[in-house]
Chains A and B, each alone.
Chain A
Amino acid sequence: MRFLYVIVLTILFGNYLAGQDCTSILLGEVVDFHDNTPLENATVLVSGKKLTATTDSAGKFSFKSLCDGILELEISHPECKSQFVTLTIEGDTYHKISLEHHLEELDEVKVVGDKSKNTTSNQEEGLSLKDVEQNSGKSLGDALRRITGVSSLNTGANIVKPVIQGLNGSRVLVLNNNVRMQDMEWGQEHAPNIDINSNQNISVIKGAGALEYGGDAIGGVIVLDPLPIARVDSLFGKTQLNLSSNGRGGSITTTLIKSYDSGLYVKVQGTLKRLGDLEAPNYLLTNTGIKENSFSLNFGKRDFLQGWEAYYSFFDSNIGILRASHIGNIDDLITAINSQQPGIINPFSRDIIRPNQEVTHHLAKFNYYRRFKGFGKLDLQYDFQNNSRFEYDVRVGDDANKPSLDLSLSTHTLSAILKLDSNEKFEGKFGALARYQDNFANPDTGVRRLIPDYDKYDFGFFGIGEYQLRSDIKIDAGVRYDFTRIDAKKFYRTSRWEERNYDNDFGNLIVEDLGTQLLVNPVFDYHNVAAMAGLQYDLKNDHYLRFNYAFAQRAPNPSELFSDGLHHSAARIELGDLRIKSEVSSKVSASLERNASNWGFTIAPYINSIKDFILLEPSGVEFTIRGAFPVWSYRQADAQLLGVDVSTYSNWSRHFRSDHQLSWVRGTDTSSDTALINIPATNINNSITYSNEKWNNVTISLESQYVFEQQRFPSNISVFSPQQQEEVILAINTPPEAYHVLAIDIDTRFSLRKNDDLGVGLRVTNLLNSAYRDYLNRQRYFVDDLGRNISIRLIYAY
């Protein structure tokens, strides 16, 4: 297309120009758009003539003996996008041309292998597109486990909450196409409402250093970005089909992209997933199916100078919760823990029965950016999210089809970020954010609200800078302030209000006294500061050293403050505490890396000291006429997380590669010098991969995962069993034994119409069908983890 344009211009003007008096001189200068620095070695070509020039060290070039008239120049530079300039020559003419030097910023260059990072001094690791494709039929949390130091807190196999260096929930931010997900991440059985296939450029920043995304990411940030779309006229797409033996179902996902030379693009993506009851090695896991539908639409125009994007995504899932995990009271829990067999096993079914959860998430965003020559870039964004969650318990009679929990969370966010990049050595970012959130808990459930109605307001400001101190040292630092106000209206049982001693401390919050219950209106303000500083040191010979210190504060979430009630599906009473204040984390992390083609390694130790760490743990038992229930309460304690992530790889030959990972973390409640709950056990992953380009790009890998038994856990609680009429020890904290699972993955590429357009893969997980339980699976009390799964994937690109 562009070529044609040049030809047309040549024909039009070529003859016209030839007959003129040609003595004019064109003096030109080529500079970098960002900082006006001269660009050397740019090639300037006059269309239609065999005239070329190269810029000198001052970025200058000249053409002599030109004719007056219109001229078209093509300017190219090895690190830049070629540019065409049409100009009029009238006598001696001077013209300055700005070239976009930072190609990567246009998201047009896909760097294979060595991904560009979002941060400088943080520990950050990404997933390759191949990893994402391998996990296309799974959840985000499953895919992320491939990253050293990332594990997951599961409720069965379909609810997978990512855990970064021992921390989860509200401490882990999920950034979906630059929108911070607001999807009730506070619950232990609430997984991120994201389809892994929608934005496949995924990375994890460990720790709170990425202040741009939020000041409260004490655990870390998961960044999901769309894959770059090239600025060419084209229509292309990809469809992936996954079939699994375990669950007897699968998923299909399709992406279609129409892009234009002008920078306009439209991307449509959708996924359907259906799985029936999953299987442990020795029995069926009744009611563990999943139905998931998701859809997303992006369109926009990305130009160098300015651009915009509109994005809408819809995510809807209906997840079955293991039927045997729905228990009545503490005696049922004791029976379940002791029997080691699920109480209910039904024949295989694809239907999802009670208990289950239905979650819908809508996300819409509009983003606009503009660059200012010699200054920087301004980014403005508005996003809206609505998350609605229905949790159904096994209920009877007229209530059978009523949810026990019905929450609707709406969030509006406005943000502006100004990036200053005109200086070659310094890059600064300043941003501001305003957010409003509204939670509505529907009273029609006939069950007291676990989370109350509330309004939440957030305002934040940040400034971060990155400076190239020496050619081999880059430093970065930043500071952020966030204000949060939460304004809730909640009913407390008078007995609970008094038992918690709130009548003394919060008596002024009471709005209405209804006899047995009180309506209260807590309004809490939190002022949180976060700061970070770090450096990246290039030690030469492919070695890097990173060091980062991050200080962060996180305001308590609504669950930590207000939880109050019986969580039927978990048969436990969860209690928040109005007195909970922000937790404060100081984390020092470092990493030494070697990234060479033959072999490499990363050693990344960290220490995270958290003052007033908020944790949820079993604290006792409460008796009701329906029996006794374990109580899980939120409390604050000073904590320390000490850990190290180690990974290494080696390319033994052209065909063989091995990868090894170890993550170790030790969590301590330093106030009482006891172990923290739900800290991932040490695990070791090893894999060996054979690949051969000649045989349809085949790669065969054998993966091994060994998870140690968690030796450090809080002590169990002693409860009175009404059935046994005596105090018994409830082994609610005892971790399961160590386990080892193997997996094999085979991937091949075929060329049907285009090069490597068909991918065929086979993956078998839990190859030996071993029975095991994982400490971080909340259903470990009731059933074994998943048995063998054979899955096939077909990927077709067109």
Chain B
Amino acid sequence: MHINNPKFNNMKKSFRQMKTTNLKFFTVLLGTAFLMFSCDNNDDPAPVDEEEVITTMNVTLTATGATTVSLASQDLDGDGPDAPVVTVSGSLAPNTTYAGSIELLNETETPAEDITAEVAEEDSEHQFFFDVSGALTETAYSDEDGDGNPLGLSFALTTGDAGSGTIQITLRHEPKKPNDGTLADAGGETDIAQSFSVTVE
């Protein structure tokens, strides 16, 4: 079919002009277009290595003449939807001072990685904070870092009369040291914040 519309002919003429003057440009443009739709990277992304993950905290409370009690918090999916599994093995004896020790694990790896040693090594960059209420009366630090500031991997917990109580254990990374013992003053990054409900009887 031959179109003899003057408008169309004009357009054809203009196209022809355009072709000669801009052939190079169009080649480049088409080349780019080809490149951009043909570069297909089928490589699978690498999983992210999450660093310094702490999944588990085991707290052992011992006192002479009393049953050893362990408090545990295990959160295998980190920031995932599953809440940490918190277990308390038994009840504490009243008016007793327990010696407490803390163990930290990364159980996403097999065998589980012991983070306790790492914290002990970088003791000046870490500190545990203890907050008690109810039938738990006080806590005290039983260890200190290289600078003589409290650390908290070992501590003492004193119970009061029978009843129920809570202990909140917080681990801060790079807190201000020394601090006034409050979380607000210490700052830093929270690695662990877990509270345990216990019974004293």
Q: Which residues of A contact B (CB under 8 A)?
A: 306, 328-329, 331, 343-344, 366, 368, 370, 372-375, 380, 382, 394-399, 412, 414, 422, 434, 436, 438, 441, 443, 445-449, 452-453, 455, 489, 491, 493-496, 499, 511-512, 514, 516-517, 519, 565-566, 573, 622-627, 629, 722-723, 725
Which chain B residues lie closer than 8 Å to A446 at the CB level? 48-51
B48 contacts A443, CB within 8 Å? Answer: yes
B79 contacts A624, CB within 8 Å? Answer: yes
Q: For the complex, what is the distance from the CA of A412 to the CA of B32, rounded to whole Å?
A: 9
B79 contacts A573, CB within 8 Å? Answer: yes
B79 contacts A491, CB within 8 Å? Answer: no
B180 within 8 A of A: no
Chain B 166-184, CB-CB to A under 8 Å as 1, else 0, gives: 1010000110000000001
- Chain A nearest CB: distance from B125 CB in Å? 7
B76 contacts A328, CB within 8 Å? Answer: no
Write the chain A residue with the least CB distance to B192: A625
B80 contacts A396, CB within 8 Å? Answer: no
A375 contacts B10, CB within 8 Å? Answer: yes
Which chain A residues lie closer than 8 Å to B190 at the CB level? 328-329, 626-627
Knowing A328-B189, A414-B33, A627-B193 touch, does A447 contact B48 (C-beta < 8 A)? yes
B48 contacts A491, CB within 8 Å? Answer: yes
Q: How many residues of B contact A (CB 8 A)?
A: 60
Knowing A396-B174, A443-B46, A725-B166 touch, does A434 contact B79 (C-beta < 8 A)? no
| Cross-chain contact of B36 among A380, A396, A412, A493 (Cβ < 8 A) | A412
B73 within 8 A of A: yes
With A331-B193, A438-B41 known, 16 other A-B pairs at CB within 8 A are A328-B193, A366-B25, A380-B29, A436-B37, A441-B45, A443-B45, A448-B48, A449-B45, A452-B45, A496-B81, A499-B80, A623-B83, A624-B84, A625-B194, A722-B195, A725-B197
B55 within 8 A of A: yes
Write the chain B residue with the least CB distance to A381: B29
B54 within 8 A of A: yes
Write the chain B residue with the least CB distance to A398: B51
B147 within 8 A of A: no
A396 contacts B10, CB within 8 Å? Answer: no
B2 within 8 A of A: no
B22 within 8 A of A: yes
Knowing A380-B29, A434-B33 touch, does A625 contact B75 (C-beta < 8 A)? yes
Q: For the complex, what is the distance from the CA of A86 to the CA of B16, rounded to whole Å?
A: 24
Write the chain B residue with the least CB distance to A412: B36
Q: For the complex, what is the distance from the CA of A491 to the CA of B55, rounded to whole Å?
A: 19
- Chain B nearest CB: distance from A451 CB in Å? 12
Knowing A328-B193, A329-B190, A373-B14 touch, does A397 contact B33 (C-beta < 8 A)? no
B108 contacts A394, CB within 8 Å? Answer: no
- Chain B nearest CB: distance from A327 CB in Å? 9
The 9 A-B residue pairs with the shortest CB-CB distance in the complex, in nearest-first order: A627-B193, A396-B174, A623-B83, A499-B81, A625-B75, A495-B77, A328-B190, A446-B51, A493-B80
B10 contacts A373, CB within 8 Å? Answer: yes
B89 within 8 A of A: no
Q: How many A-B residue pairs have CB under 8 A?
A: 152
B50 contacts A626, CB within 8 Å? Answer: no
Knowing A328-B193, A394-B189, A516-B108 touch, does A624 contact B75 (C-beta < 8 A)? yes
Q: For the complex, what is the distance from the CA of A496 to the CA of B173, rounded to whole Å?
A: 27
A397 contacts B52, CB within 8 Å? Answer: yes
B133 within 8 A of A: yes
B57 contacts A625, CB within 8 Å? Answer: yes
Write the chain B residue with the least CB distance to A445: B48
A626 contacts B191, CB within 8 Å? Answer: yes
Which chain A residues lie closer than 8 Å to B56 at the CB level? 625
B146 within 8 A of A: no
- Chain A nearest CB: distance from B180 CB in Å? 15
Q: For the complex, what is the distance from the CA of A447 to the CA of B82, rounded to whole Å?
A: 18
A372 contacts B191, CB within 8 Å? Answer: no
Write the chain B residue with the least CB distance to A449: B48
- Chain B nearest CB: distance from A334 CB in Å? 13
Chain B 112-153, CB-CB to A under 8 Å as 1, else 0, gives: 000000000010010000010100000000000000000000
Q: For the complex, what is the distance from the CA of A443 to the CA of B77, rounded to whole Å?
A: 18
A489 contacts B44, CB within 8 Å? Answer: yes
A725 contacts B195, CB within 8 Å? Answer: yes
B47 contacts A514, CB within 8 Å? Answer: yes
- Chain A nearest CB: distance from B73 CB in Å? 6
Knowing A374-B10, A394-B189, A434-B33 touch, does A622 contact B77 (C-beta < 8 A)? no
B79 contacts A565, CB within 8 Å? Answer: yes
Knowing A370-B18, A396-B173, A722-B168 touch, does A625 contact B82 (C-beta < 8 A)? no
Q: For the complex, what is the distance from the CA of A400 to the CA of B25, rounded to whole Å?
A: 47
A495 contacts B81, CB within 8 Å? Answer: yes
Q: For the complex, what is the distance from the CA of A511 to the CA of B45, rounded to whole Å?
A: 12
Q: For the complex, what is the distance from the CA of A775 to the CA of B194, rounded to whole Å?
A: 33
B23 within 8 A of A: no
Q: For the complex, what is the distance from the CA of A493 to the CA of B83, rounded to whole Å?
A: 14
B69-107 residues with Cβ-Cβ distance < 8 A to A are 73-84
Which chain B residues lie closer than 8 Å to A306 at the CB level? 18
- Can you list 22 A-B contacts with CB-CB less than 8 angstroms, sorted by A residue number? A368-B22, A374-B7, A380-B29, A394-B189, A396-B189, A434-B33, A434-B37, A436-B37, A438-B41, A448-B50, A453-B45, A455-B41, A489-B45, A493-B77, A519-B44, A519-B47, A566-B79, A622-B83, A625-B193, A627-B194, A722-B195, A723-B131
